[in-house]
């Protein structure tokens, strides 16, 4: 049984680095992007809300993006057994870093120590200005939207505001990437969960871990380009698989 084998590996490992993607949050009710019920599959236009070129150019896209942020599932959903199982990994002292592509804050809501979570795509709970360095909270900015400002401008410089997530066309934050790479390089076991491993830099982190001699375990319903290099591939629902391999 692969599950038992992986469980033994995790018991034996001193350091585990985890990478999570949308598949961890779908069981909480947050749609993924490109799947059959994905946000971008159902409404291809919504991908423009996170494309910096469209966003800067078109006030109509920004107005719709603010409405989408008000309605985002992240405000109401709860962590699922997969998130909770990952917290136990930290409690056992094995977690180096939890690197996530998700912007929903569910790992922290489940109880993961915030400094152990590297959000390589940012999160939806902050707001930043494209004109200056000003930052504020999404909550405060959505209050302005609710009060009638359908495209609220920066209170410091009048510039365009956006969520503190990484948009298409934007660079990822180098300090976060560096910490993620370091964590991938220094682990005994690299656990990739709920991500298709088709987007960089997430996929590159797997290469770093493999080059450093780490074991690779992939939990994902769909095949990934790294399956043939993995020591184990688990395709059952993540909410069942993670408690089975992580809870001791």
Cα–Cα distance measured from residue 113 to residue 105, given in angstroms and rounded to the nearest whole number: 11
Choose between 87 and 129: whose C-beta lies nearer to Zn ion.
Answer: 129
Least distance from Zn ion to the Cβ atom of residue 153, Å? 8
87 or 154, CB closer to Zn ion? 154
Please choose, out of 25-33, 154-162, 202-210, 219-227, the segment that lies near Zn ion by the rule CB under 5 A. Answer: 154-162
Beta carbon of residue 127, minimum distance to Zn ion (angstroms, whole number) = 10
Counting contacts by CB under 5 A, is residue 239 touching Zn ion? no
Contacts of 109 (CB under 8 A, 6+ apart): 78, 79, 83
**Position 134 contacts Zn ion (CB under 5 A):** yes
219-238 footprint of Zn ion as x/- string (CB under 5 A) = --------------------
CA 219 to chain centre: 15
Structural contact between residues 231 and 217, judged by C-beta atoms closer than 8 angstroms:
yes
Q: Decide if residue 38 touches Zn ion (CB under 5 A).
A: no
Structure tokens at 56: 């800067």
Any residues with CB less than 8 A from the CB of 44 and at least 6 apart, and which?
none
- Write out the H or E segment, with its range, that includes residue 54: helix 52-57
126 sits near Zn ion (criterion: CB under 5 A): no
The catalytic residue positions are 121
Is residue 159 part of the contact set for Zn ion (CB under 5 A)? yes
179 binds Zn ion (CB under 5 A): no
Min dist. Cβ of residue 154 to Zn ion (A): 3
Q: Where are the beta strands (DSSP E) in the chain?
A: 16-20, 95-100, 117-119, 122-129, 135-137, 161-165, 189-193, 215-219, 232-234
Under a CB-based contact definition with an 8 Å cutoff, are residues 154 and 161 in contact?
Answer: yes
Binding of residue 135 to Zn ion (CB under 5 A): no
Stretch that binds Zn ion, among 28-36, 47-55, 57-65, 150-158 (CB under 5 A): 150-158
The number of residues that bind Zn ion (CB under 5 A) is 8
The answer to whether residues 198 and 174 touch, using CB atoms and an 8 Å cutoff, is: no
Q: Given the rule CB under 5 A, which residues bind Zn ion?
A: 129, 131-132, 134, 154, 156-157, 159
């Amino acid at each position: 049984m692969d599950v038992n084998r992986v469980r033994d590996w995790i018991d034996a490992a001193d350091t585990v680095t985890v990478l999570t993607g949308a598949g961890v949050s779908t069981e909480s009710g947050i749609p993924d992007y490109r799947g059959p019920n994905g946000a971008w599959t159902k409404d291809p236009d919504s991908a423009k809300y996170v494309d910096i070129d469209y966003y800067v150019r078109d006030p109509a896209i920004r107005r719709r993006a603010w409405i989408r942020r008000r309605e985002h599932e992240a405000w109401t959903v709860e962590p699922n057994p997969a998130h909770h199982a990952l917290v136990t990994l930290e409690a056992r002292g094995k977690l180096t870093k939890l690197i996530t592509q998700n912007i929903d804050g569910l790992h922290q809501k489940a109880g993961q120590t915030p400094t152990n979570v590297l959000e390589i795509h940012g999160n939806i709970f902050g707001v930043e200005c494209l004109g200056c360095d000003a930052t504020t909270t999404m909550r405060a900015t959505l209050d302005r939207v609710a009060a009638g400002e359908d495209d609220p401008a920066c209170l410091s410089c009048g510039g365009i505001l956006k969520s503190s997530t990484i948009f298409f066309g934007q660079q990822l934050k180098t300090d976060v990437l560096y910490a993620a790479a370091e964590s991938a390089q220094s682990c005994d076991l690299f656990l990739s969960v709920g991500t298709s491993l088709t987007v960089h830099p997430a996929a590159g982190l797997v290469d770093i871990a493999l080059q450093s001699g780490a074991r690779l375990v992939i939990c994902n319903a769909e095949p990934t380009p790294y399956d043939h290099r993995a020591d184990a591939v688990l395709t059952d629902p993540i909410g069942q698989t993670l408690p089975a391999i992580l809870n001791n």
